[in-house]
Structure 1
Amino acid sequence: MTEAPVFTLRAGRIEDAAGVTELHSQSRFRWGTLRPRYPSLDAVRKWLETRSLDNPYIVAEAEGRIIGDAGLELGKGRRAHAAELGMGVHDAWQGRGVGTALLAAVIDTADNWMNLKRLELTVWTDNAPALALYRKFGFVEEGVLRAYAYRDGAYVDALAMARLRGIG
């Protein structure tokens, strides 16, 4: 019998800048996002310093290293009931429950602490593991975004997905 991997979830901090930069430098992590190829430590530090404290940001940590992150960007005004979700897992930790734990924590925060009604995201149409995870948590496809972004020398499509809570 194998032991479950040990990691913890906690709020992200400014002091995590180097670990977040390393996480965002992972090739598989980056492949699933719109992040630039060579993230700068200064840019990550500035993002951590200036992000709104109203936007939850959670990191997964194991053995003193950041192995995943997830956050919500809250809507404003007439979109105050919604938030955009972004997340990713370190290449070496994919498929080991980190994404599931992060997504569960973000959804719990959205539902039980912020009373959000709509969580939305975009995901590449060819990212089968992410699609399976999002569907497991009740996200549904709302549309295909054709030629959404340029990745690995070609334009790729994305799915717009959302999870609605307590709405008709």
Structure 2
Amino acid sequence: MQKFKPQILTLKNQKTVTIREAEIDDAEKLLNCIKTYVPQSDYIPKLEQEIKLTIEQEKEWINYFLTNENSLLLIAEFENEIIGNIDLTGNRRKIMEHTAVIGMGMLKEWRNYGLGTALLKLAIEWAKENSILELLWLQVYTDNELGLRLYRKLGFEENGIMKNFFKQDGKYFDNLTMTINVK
């Protein structure tokens, strides 16, 4: 059963992308996309060598989103290539199933063209229609100015900072938790 109706949109770079729900057959392309954008980002707290998923494990990961009502995995495609994704991972614990954490990433050459805004807006719209979800949350580096601007623009509120949460190359970064109510 399809949870999300595919959307076709034109970005600021005048390129047309399709945003749709990920399918099991997307596993290899999605894994390659993630393996490409993680080392391109200063704000994803994962190192390239830590991405050890096999294609089979990636298929299982995609299936998680397909089978859990409070979860969604969207991909952005351009000319049949995956260029980014967003996931809402709904909590499996009964007393927290009304919450989902957001993860998002995209290839460097697709940043600053409105793709992140489009992905996040569509995920929020889906969550508002979802009968289970009430609260979306995310974590962001406090010095990720572009990310912070996007999240604030779409209505996320700051909930607290964990100092020195991330440590990379001997340098510490603070982590901000942000939430948005969708009901």
Contact preservation (8 Å) 1:18, 1:41: no
Determine the C-alpha separation between the residues in 1 that align with 2:14 and 2:89: 31
TM-score by length of structure 2 reads 0.80
Structure 2 residue aligned with 1:16: 26
Counterpart AA for 1:34: P
Q: In terms of mean alpha carbon deviation, does 65-74 or 19-28 score higher?
A: 19-28
1:65 aligns with 2:76: no
Structure 1 residue 73: Cα displacement:
1.1
Counterpart AA for 2:60: E
**Structure 2: stretches of 5+ with no match in the other structure:** 1-11
Q: 1:129 to 1:48 in 2, by over 3 A?
A: farther
Structure 1 residue aligned with 2:118: 101
Aligned ranges 1:1-168 → 2 under 5 Å: 4-24=14-34, 25-26=36-37, 27-29=39-41, 31-38=42-49, 39-40=51-52, 42=54, 45-50=56-61, 51-52=63-64, 53-54=67-68, 55-75=71-91, 76-166=93-183
**Structure 1: stretches of 5+ with no match in the other structure:** none
Question: Residue by residue, what CA displacement relative to the aligned partner does 1:65-113 show, whole Å, maximum 9, x if unpaired?
Answer: 1111001111221112111111112101000111111101110111113
Q: 1:155 to 1:92 in 2, by over 3 A?
A: same
Considering only aligned residues, what root-mean-square deviation do their CA atoms show, in Å? 2.0
Contact preservation (8 Å) 1:146, 1:157: yes
- 1:7 is paired with a residue whose SS is strand
Q: In terms of mean alpha carbon deviation, does 49-58 or 105-114 score higher?
A: 49-58
Structure 1 residue 23: Cα displacement:
2.2
Determine the C-alpha separation between the residues in 1 that align with 2:157 and 2:121: 16
- The size of the alignment, in residue pairs, is 163
Question: Residue by residue, what CA displacement relative to the aligned partner does 1:29-87 show, whole Å, maximum 9, x if unpaired?
Answer: 3x221233133451x54033245221210000101211110011112211121111111
